[in-house]
Structure 1
Amino acid sequence: MHFTAKIQGSHIACTITSDRALKSPTFCASLMAPGTVIAGGHLTRQVAGYLEVALPDLAPGEPHELTLAHENPGFVPRNRAWLPLGAYLRTQQGPIQLPPLEQGIRQAEAPRVPDHPGLRLIPQPQSWHPAPGETRFTTLDASHPAFAAADALARRRGIAPLIGPGPRVTVTLDPALQDDHEITIGPEITIRAGNEAAVFHAAITLLTLRETHGALPHGNLQDGPRFGYRGQHLDCARHFFAVETILKLLDLMALLKLNRFHWHFADDEAFRLQTTSTPEIWEKTALRGEGHAVPSVFGGGISSGGSYSKADVQRILTHAQALHIQVLPEIEVPAHSFCLNLAHPGLQDRADNRAEVSIQGYRDNIVNPALPETWAFLEPLALEVASLFPMGMIHLGGDELPPDAWAGSPEVTALKAREGLATHLDVQGWTMAKMAGYLAQHGIRTAAWEEATRGNQGGIGHDALIFSWTGQGEGIHAARKGHQVVMCPAQNTYFDIAHSPDPEDWGATWAGITPLEQVVNWKPVPDSAPDIADKVAGVEGCFWGEFTTQDVEMEPMVAPRILGLANKAWDRRDSVDGPSLRALAQAYGPLLDRIGWQRHRGGVNPGYTPGLP
Structure 2
Amino acid sequence: MTNQCSFRLENLWVSDEQGGSYRLTLANLSDAPIRNFRLCVSGPARIGQGADIEGGTLVHWLSNHAELRPPEGFVLEPGASWAVTIRRMSDPLNHWTDGVTAAYLVLADDTSATVAVSPMGNSGNNAELKRGALVYPVPVAAPVSVSILPWPQSVNVSGNAPPPPGFALRPEGRDATKAADAFSQLVEYLFPAEGIVRSASEGGLPVTLSRDEPLGSEAYILRFAPNEVAVAGGGHGGLLYGLITLGQILRGARLHPGTFIFPGEGEIVDTPLHEWRGTHLDVARQFYGAAEIKRFLHILAWNKLNRFHWHLSDDEAWRVEIEAYPALTEIGAWRGHGLAIPPLLGSAPQRSGGYYTKAVIREIVALAGNLGIEVMPEIDVPGHCYAMLQAIPELRDPAEHGNYHSVQGFPNNCLNPAREDTYRALETIFDELIELFPCAVFHVGADEVPLGAWSGSPQALGELRAIGGDALADGHAKRLDVITNHHGADDIEGSGAAVLQSAFLGRIQAFLASRGRVTGGWQEAAHGNVIDKAKSLLFGWRTVEASAALAGEGYNLVVCPGKVYYLDMANSTAWSEPGASWVGWSSPEKLYTFDPVEGWSEEQKTRLLGVQCCIWSEPMSDRAVFDRLVFPRLSALAETAWTRDEHKSFKRFEALAGLMPVLYGFYGQAA
Into which bin does the TM-score normalised by the smaller protein fall? over 0.9
Match of 2:41 in 1: 29
1:398-423 alpha-carbon deviations (Å, 9 max, x no partner): 00110122233332222223334853
**1:356 aligns to what?**
404
Q: Determine whether 1:592 maps to 2:638.
A: no
Please list, as runs of the form range in 1=range in 2, the aligned pairs for 1:372-521 lying within 5 A after superposition: 372-420=420-468, 423-455=496-528, 457-459=529-531, 461=533, 463-521=535-593
Distance in 1, Cα, partners of 2:209 & 2:138: 37
Corresponding residue number in structure 2 for 1:604:
none
Runs of 5+ consecutive residues of structure 1 not aligned to the other structure: 602-613
Structure 2 regions of 5+ residues with no counterpart? 1-6, 121-128, 172-176, 255-260, 473-495
Instruction: Name the CA distance, whole Å, in 2 between partners of 1:362 and 1:151.
Output: 46
Indicate if the aligned counterparts of 1:341 and 1:364 stay in contact, CA closer than 8 A: no
Q: Deviations for 1:437-457, whole angstroms, at most 9, x for unmatched residues?
A: 1111111222110000111x5
Q: Is 2:181 the counterpart of 1:148?
A: yes
Partner of 1:284: 331
Give the superposition deviation at 1:556.
2.3
CA distance in 2, matches of 1:578, 1:359: 36
The residue that corresponds to 2:378 in the other structure is: 330
Write the mapping of 1:550-569 to structure 2, written as runs, cut at 5 A: 550-569=622-641
1:258 and 2:305 matched:
yes
Residue from 607, 620, 639 that aligns with 1:548: 620
Q: State how 1:1-12 maps to structure 2 within 5 Å.
A: 1-9=7-15, 10-12=20-22
Whole-Å separation in 1 of the counterparts to 2:535 and 2:21: 47
Query: After superposition, what is the alpha-carbon deviation per residue over 1:378-398, rounded to whole angstroms, capped at 9, x for unaligned?
Result: 121122122211213311000
**Aligned-pair CA distance for 1:462:** 5.1
> Which secondary structure state, in structure 2, belongs to the residue aligned with residue 199 of structure 1?
helix
AA in 2 matched with 1:176: P
1:116 aligns with 2:131: no
Equivalent-residue separation in structure 2 for 1:360 and 1:110 (angstroms): 33
CA deviation after TM superposition for structure 1 residue 524, in Å: 3.2
Distance 1:475 1:388 in 2: 31
Q: For residue 426 of structure 1, what is the amino acid of its counterpart?
A: V
CA distance in 2, matches of 1:549, 1:106: 12
Distance 1:353 1:16 in 2: 38
> How big is each residue's C-alpha offset from its partner over 1:335-391, in whole Å with a ceiling of 9 and x where there is no partner?
001112211113232333343211111111111100111112112112212221121
Conserved 8 A contact 2:396-2:416: yes
**CA shift at 1:176, angstroms?**
0.8
Q: Residue 332 of structure 1 aligns to a residue in which SS?
A: strand
* Equivalences, count: 594
Per-residue deviation, 1:180: 1.1
Specify the SS of the correspondent of 1:277.
Answer: coil
**Contact 2:163-2:253 within 8 A present in 1 as well:** no
Q: Which residue of 1 aligns with 2:213?
A: 175
- More deviation in 415-424 or 358-367? 415-424
Cα distance, 1:27 vs structure 2: 0.6
Cα distance between partner residues in 2 of 1:371 and 1:195 = 46
Do 1:440 and 1:462's aligned partners in 2 also have CA atoms closer than 8 Å?
no
The residue number in structure 2 matching 1:87 is 103
Greater mean alpha carbon deviation, residues 287-296 or residues 479-488: 479-488
Q: Deviations over 1:265-293 (max 9, x none)?
A: 20001111011122112111211120110
The 2-side partners of 1:577 and 1:101 are apart by 41
Distance across 1 between alignment mates of 2:370 and 2:108: 53
User: What is the rounded CA distance, in whole Å, between the counterparts of 1:191 and 1:495 in structure 2?
Assistant: 34
Residue 37 to residue 296, structure 1, CA distance change in 2 (3 Å): farther
Aligned partners of 1:385 and 1:248: how far apart in 2? 23
Contact 1:347 1:368 in 2 (8 A): yes
Matched, 1:308 2:381: no
Query: What's 2:262 paired with?
Result: 216
The Cα offsets for residues 481-526 of structure 1, whole Å up to 9 and x where unpaired, read as 2222111111121111111222122100011111111112322332
Q: Mean alpha-carbon deviation: is it higher for 480-489 or for 573-582? A: 573-582
Deviation at 1:155, TM superposition (A): 1.6
In structure 1, give the amino acid aligned to 2:285: R
- Report if the CA contact (8 A) 1:354-1:363 is conserved: no
Matches within 5 A, 1:122-161: 122-144=149-171, 145=177, 146-159=179-192, 160-161=194-195
Task: Select 1:299's aligned residue among 321, 330, 346.
Answer: 346
Q: Does 1:16 align with 2:45?
A: no
Percent identity, please: 28
Equivalent residue, structure 2, for 1:605: none
Structure 2 residue corresponding to 1:46, chosen from 48, 61, 70? 61
Q: Per-residue deviation at 1:82?
A: 1.4
For the residue of structure 1 that corresponds to 2:102, the secondary structure is strand
Partners of 2:182 and 2:564 lie apart in 1 by 31
Separation in 2, partners of 1:363, 1:467: 26
What is the DSSP-based 3-state SS (H/G/I as helix, E as strand, rest coil) of the residue aligned with 1:405?
coil
- The answer for the alignment partner of 1:225 in structure 2 is 272
Question: Under a length normalisation based on structure 2, what TM-score does the superposition of the two structures give?
Answer: 0.84
Q: Do the aligned partners of residues 503 and 582 (structure 1) sit closer, same or farther apart at CA in structure 2, a change above 3 Å counting? A: same
Aligned AA (1:134): A
Contact 2:311 2:377 in 1 (8 A): yes
- What CA deviation, in whole Å up to 9, does each residue of 1:32-66 have, x standing for no partner? 34313522211100111211001232111112212
- Alignment pair present for 1:186 and 2:225: yes
CA contact (8 A) 1:33 1:361 kept: no
Partners of 2:560 and 2:611 within 8 A in 1: yes
| Equivalent in the alignment of 1:66 | 84
Tell me which of 91, 97, 103 is aligned to 2:114. Answer: 97
Residue 162 of structure 1: aligned partner: 196
Given residue 184 of structure 1, which amino acid in structure 2 is its aligned partner? R
Q: Give distance in 1, aligned partners of 2:252 and 2:291.
A: 26
Q: Is the 8 A contact 2:556 2:609 kept in 1?
A: yes
Query: 2:520 is aligned with what amino acid?
Result: A
Check 1:367–1:40 CA distance in 2 against 1; reply closer, same or farther (3 A cut).
Answer: same
Letter paired with 1:173: R
Deviations 1:182-230 (A, max 9, x none): 1112221112211121000011001111112324224211001111211
Paired position in structure 2 for 1:608: none
Render the CA deviation track for 1:134-159: whole Å, top value 9, x for unaligned: 34111112133323322222222234
**1:226 partner SS:** coil
Alignment partners' CA distance in 2, 1:596 and 1:134: 34
Query: Which stretch shows the higher mean deviation, 334-343 or 380-389?
Result: 380-389
| Letter of the structure 2 residue corresponding to residue 278 of structure 1 | Y
Match of 2:535, SS state, is coil
Deviation digits for residues 556-575 of structure 1, max 9, x if unmatched? 21111111100011113453
Question: How far has the Cα of 1:583 moved from its partner?
Answer: 2.8
CA contact (8 A) 1:298 1:547 kept: yes
| Cα distance change, pair 557–111 in 1 and its aligned pair in 2 (3 A) | closer
Aligned partners of 1:25 and 1:57 also within 8 Å: no
CA distance in 1, matches of 2:88, 2:615: 23
Alpha-carbon distance in 2 for matches of 1:311, 1:459: 33
| TM-score for the superposition, normalised by structure 1 | 0.92
In structure 1, the residue matched to 2:4 is none
Equivalent-residue separation in structure 1 for 2:100 and 2:80 (angstroms):
21
Judge which range, 494-503 or 543-552, deviates more: 543-552
